[in-house]
Structure 1
Amino acid sequence: MFRPFQAIEDAECVPDPHVRDRLLEAAITFLSAQGDVQSFEVQYAMGYAWYQRCADTKIRSDGVIHHLRNALQINPDHKYALLYLGHHYYDQRQFVEALDIFSKFQDRDFLTLGQAWRDSKVAELVLCCRLQLRDQKNLKEAIHRFCEAMTFCDEQMNPAPKELTETLMGMSSTD
């Protein structure tokens, strides 16, 4: 029997984008037809599956936003639904929306879950949004938050600040 939640989890490790998208599409289709589409778990799973899809299309974007917002209407405090909605807005270069979402996180929301690296990633993306928006007023605070968040990361789980590097490189080429 097809297990859609397992399929979404398995898709994360599939390197071939076509195979990955087919697996995610099957999970989304199954959940839409079989699942309790009013449940938080189904809405979050469908939003996350849309987020994980490789093709960057309007349909994908609409699916991510629709389902993650529905999940947040059911459970407004769910960290992962909020996190992936923020990531989506950031990926779409919608920095005002991304900043609004990432600003809802406290400095150590994920530390208590053993995922301090997620706190540092949120702080990095807040900093990137502030840089992209030329928000000089709040920049010092964002830098401090990012640097502090990095100190809580385990050395093996300390993600490279890829987005910050890309933001700074992009700014240096345009300024």
Structure 2
Amino acid sequence: MSQTSDGDGLLIPISEHDNIQGTINAQIVLIEYGDYQCLSCGEVHKMIQEIQQQIQLCFVFRHFPRIHIHFQAQKAAEAAEAAAVQNKFWQMHNLLFENQYALNNGHLLEYANEIQLDINRFLQDMTGHVHAERVSQNIQGGIQSGVSNTPALFINGVRYRDAWDTERLLAAILD
């Protein structure tokens, strides 16, 4: 029987398969389920970058592309994972959020080139949908933890449900 959350608790613990900034054993662990085409996720991305300049935390990004409304979000997530296998997840992650309106195949290839990925490997990964299962696993884990919309944040395993502004998020993180 699969477990599901009431939406306030994270059910999928951090693992070596996650994309992680900082150390896993940090006092504060912030997990985001996000979508590269979601404008609110883009705003939260900026907030998290601001907070990371102020405090030490472990930040984990998990994919939750809402493909029924964001038609390029799945490809963008797969592109981020294709960059991850070349140890450039965060560079691609940042480019995708900085260019949320430009996520078609040509743009994704430009970003891969910009961060100096092995383009042949990147193209093989993208055309073969090599990382689609990984993205799907993130989505399923999010659903198990009650995620239905993006952005969804968990602070030390507890769902953040306050306003989307830097001061409130920082206060919740430090609480």
User: As a proportion of its length, which structure holds more helix?
Assistant: 1
Q: Which structure carries more strand by proportion? A: 2
Q: Determine which structure has more spread, i.e. the larger CA radius of gyration.
A: 1
TM-score by length of 1: 0.26
Task: Give the alignment's TM-score, normalised by structure 2.
Answer: 0.26
Bigger relative CO (Cα 8 Å, ≥ 6 apart): 2
